[in-house]
Amino acid sequence: MKLLLLCLGLLSTAALLANESDVRIEHDVDYLGLDREEKADLYLPANPKAGDRFPAVVIIHGGGWSGGDKGADREINIGTTLALNGYVGMSINYLLAGKGDRKTGSWPQNIYDCKNAVRWLRTNAERLQIDPDHIGVIGGSAGGHLAAMLTLTGGELDPPGEGSTQVQCGVDLYGPVLWFEQRDLSMFRQTREEAPERYRAADPRNHVDKNDPPLLILHGTADTTVDVADSEALAAALKTAGAPHELVIIPDARHSFHLQPKQRDLRPLVLGFFDKYLKGK
3-state secondary structure of 203: coil
Segment 64-77, tens digit of pLDDT: 999 999 999 999 99
Task: State the pTM of this model.
Answer: 0.92
- Per-residue pLDDT at 130: 98
Would you place residue 19 in the very low, low, confident or very high pLDDT band (cuts 50, 70, 90)? low
Segment 49-66, tens digit of pLDDT: 999 999 999 999 999 999
Chain mean pLDDT for the chain:
92
Task: Confirm or reject CATH 1.10.3720.10 for domain 2-279, answering yes or no.
Answer: no
Q: Which amino acid is at 275?
A: D
Phi-psi region of 242 (alpha: psi -120 to 50; beta: other; left: phi over 0): left
Closest CA to 73 of 258, 234, 199: 258
Residue 260 burial (CB count, 10 A): 13
Mean pLDDT (whole number) for 37-51: 96
Mean pLDDT (whole number) for 100-128: 92
Closest CA to 144 of 218, 82, 90: 218
- Percentages helix, strand, coil for the chain (3-state, rounded to 5) are 35, 20, 45
What does the DSSP 8-state code read for residue 95? Answer: P
